Amino acid sequence: MDLSLKPEHKAFADEVRAFARENLSPATREKTFSGKHYDRDDHMVWQKALGKKGWLAYTWPKKYGGPGWDVTQRFLFENVLAEEGAPRILPFGPKMVGPVIYTFGTEAQKERFLPGIRSSEVSWCQGYSEPGAGSDLANLRTRAVREGDHYIVNGQKTWTSFAHWGDWIFCLVRTNTDGKPQEGISFLLIDMKTPGVTVRPIIMTDGAHHVNDVFLDNVKVPVENLIGKENEGWTCAKFLLANERLGIAEVPSSKRGVSVLRKIARMEPQDGRTLADDPAFTAQIADIDLQVQALEMSELRVLSTMAQGGAPGPEVSSLKVRGSEIQQRIAELTMEAVGEYAQPYQPGMLFHDTNETPIGPDHAPPAAPRYFNMRKTSIYGGSTEIQKNIVSKMVLGL
């Protein structure tokens, strides 16, 4: 066992860093460190650069056009990019649907869809949740009825992140209503330009628009867009969720969050000194710092198992729970660090490039909105309550 880096891994980290410094726009980087929202270009320009380099689908094996990296390389890649202020890679294509396609798809489907995902030329969104089926995913009602060589799809998806940017959506649809709710679900790829697909924004508590309702009204989908077998989509769904819950712990961005928080504490005045001189406050930062380290090490242990060919098991649910708590706590402490100046609301400073000057310090405007917004981390991707049920049932046998 060894935690220290071999020379070739150090060289790899340097290569990633050099790439980020050359390709990441300074404006995007600035948004990361100041906590502003990215616009579409921030994501797309960066992802296309990664795609060109062959690094966007960095978790994929070589066989499917990925770089075939080992677990240490993946870890270094994520961490270096977070340190450099890169936006997180939108996971829907490269981390979610891509692996489903190369694991369960036909050769024709692989040829058709994987290149666009690797290059970020085609962007994806996830059609899992429905108004009646959030955490209770198996309760989904969107119907796909086969008519000849097409499915006719009717229903509503919700909380669809970046549906307004998406070219394609991967959906769980009900193809059979008999039997257990998990049976009779299929995994379907739908072109967002198909007639009958409507996207409606949902505005979040910080005023941001990331998520949407997606209405599917008699949408005609060719049968060749079905992944895996009809009525056996639950297998794809579970495979995807296990992958999702691993990355969702967001360790690299939490590490960056802790270091930004320390920087803010050194700048925030208190009683003629700074907040960094307040042991009650800095102890709270230290506490969260150590939690991040524990989470990171737990995640490395899972990755190490995966490197040996294992799949992420239900224990990743506990990583997701802890990861979301940590993200929330960092956001909370950052807002508390700003104190009274967290009160002004300046949407212009969150969403647009603007010449408006901040009220209070530069780091103040995003602090409270981010705290409000981060409450979602314990809800999306399977709520904390659901994750704990999974651990208690699948890991502890309760």
For the bound state, the minimum distance from the C-beta of residue 360 to another protein, rounded and expressed in Å, comes to: 7
- Cα 318 from chain centroid? 17
Q: Applying CB under 8 A, which of residues 388, 393, 394, 395 lies at the interface with another protein?
A: 388
> Which among 206, 211, 212, 210 has a CA at the least distance from the CA of 348?
206
Longest dimension (CA), the chain: 76
| Cβ closest to another protein, residue 83 vs residue 325 | 325
Contact 176, 231 (CB under 8 A): yes
For the bound state, the minimum distance from the C-beta of residue 167 to another protein, rounded and expressed in Å, comes to: 24
Contact code string over 176-205 relative to another protein, x by CB under 8 A:
--------------------------xxxx
Q: Applying CB under 8 A, which of residues 112, 167, 360, 362 lies at the interface with another protein?
A: 360
Q: Single out the segment in contact with another protein by CB under 8 A; choices: 55-63, 87-95, 218-226, 377-385.
A: 377-385
Residue 35 within binding range of another protein, rule CB under 8 A? no
User: Out of 244, 268, 296, 299, which one is annotated catalytic?
Assistant: 244
| Cβ closest to another protein, residue 44 vs residue 342 | 342
Contact code string over 251-280 relative to another protein, x by CB under 8 A:
-----------------xxxxx--x----x
Distance CA 344, CA 45 (A): 32
Q: Single out the segment in contact with another protein by CB under 8 A; choices: 67-75, 167-175, 238-246, 367-375.
A: 367-375
> In this structure, what DSSP letter does residue 241 have?
H
Q: DSSP assignment of 126-168, as one string? A: EE--BTTBSS-GGG---EEEEETTEEEEEEEE-S-TTTTT-SE
Site for another protein in 201-230 (CB under 8 A): 202-205, 207, 211
Distance CA 182, CA 232 (A): 8
For the bound state, the minimum distance from the C-beta of residue 50 to another protein, rounded and expressed in Å, comes to: 29
> In this structure, what DSSP letter does residue 191 have?
E
Residue 159 within binding range of another protein, rule CB under 8 A? yes
Q: Name the 3-class secondary structure at 333.
A: helix
Distance CA 276, CA 269 (A): 9
Q: Name the 3-class secondary structure at 269.
A: strand
Contact code string over 129-148 relative to another protein, x by CB under 8 A:
x--x-xxx--x---------
> Which among 101, 120, 97 has a CA at the least distance from the CA of 41?
120
Per the annotation, the verdict on 22 as an active-site residue is no
How many angstroms separate the Cα of 114 from the Cα of each of 60, 191, 230, 291, 311? 11, 15, 21, 37, 22
Residue 371 within binding range of another protein, rule CB under 8 A? yes
Site for another protein in 326-345 (CB under 8 A): 335-336, 339-345
- Cβ neighbours, 10 Å, residue 194: 16
Distance CA 258, CA 281 (A): 13
For the bound state, the minimum distance from the C-beta of residue 358 to another protein, rounded and expressed in Å, comes to: 11
Residue 385 within binding range of another protein, rule CB under 8 A? yes
- Residue ranges in contact with another protein by CB under 8 A: 129, 132, 134-136, 139, 158-159, 202-205, 207, 211, 268-272, 275, 280-281, 335-336, 339-346, 359-361, 368-369, 371-373, 375-376, 378-380, 383-385, 388
Residues with catalytic function:
244
